[in-house]
Amino acid sequence: GGIITQTPKFLIGQEGQKLTLKCQQNFNHDTMYWYRQDSGKGLRLIYYSITENDLQKGDLSEGYDASREKKSSFSLTVTSAQKNEMAVFLCASSIAGTSAETLYFGSGTRLTVL
Amino acid sequence: GDSVTQTEGQVALSEEDFLTIHCNYSASGYPTLFWYVQYPGEGPQLLFRASRDKEKGSSRGFEATYDKGTTSFHLRKASVQESDSAVYYCALSDTNAYKVIFGKGTHLHVLP
């Protein structure tokens, strides 16, 4: 088995601040994802990465940057935090290759912007 | 683009009640369909998947049948338990195989 570790678990920032969320996986999976979870809106894809150094934009990429410098890690940066923003950011990974792959999720980073 | 619609945002049941959570999808190709479950404080985890028309997925007493004719993948369980209280997400894999699209989720509350 493997595990996905997201750090930090809780992140409090100020309006306009640049904030970075980190994700590590030891599944040796090729593909990694960042999703944003808002109450009543489900999970929305921000960025995904098919392999090391690859980046693909999802439906919600505006206001975010991502980085995949190693196969095992995938970082997400909120470029300018919005006041009163509250959301959970979920990292996931999967084996590359087919459309039937399972996503394995971390337990999330909960962001609060004051 | 492809999409997933879950009709119920919240469902409240008593133990041993029958559960149905409706999921309809729209896709240009032939997607794989998934149900994920998320318990408090955890990330979503796969409940089961189905890849072909009429295929039934099942796990832990939950089941759903892929219906291409009605573009549906409704989740059912004959007798729910308090421990089933969680958020349930229906999802599909895009024609782009790396992209998984989720519904808005259904929060199930099971009362003892």
Structure confidence by residue, pLDDT tens digits, A34-83: 999 998 888 999 999 999 999 999 989 999 999 998 999 999 999 999 98
Q: Which residues of B30-63 are buried (b: 16+ CB within 10 A; e: fewer)?
A: ebbbbbbbbeeeebbebbbbbbeeeeebeeeebb
User: How close A50 gets to chain B, by Cα (Å)?
Assistant: 8
**Residue from B23, B28, B98, B107 whose CB has the most chain A CBs within 10 Å, to mutate:** B98
Q: How far is B15 from chain A (nearest CA, A)?
A: 25
| Interchain CB distance below 8 Å, A42 and B42 | no
- Does A1 contact chain B (CB < 8 Å)? no
Beta strand pairing call for A4-7 and B100-102:
unpaired
Average pLDDT over residues B73-82: 98
C-alpha A69/C-alpha B77 separation (Å) is: 43
Average pLDDT for A90-104? 81
Q: What pLDDT shows up at residue B62?
A: 98
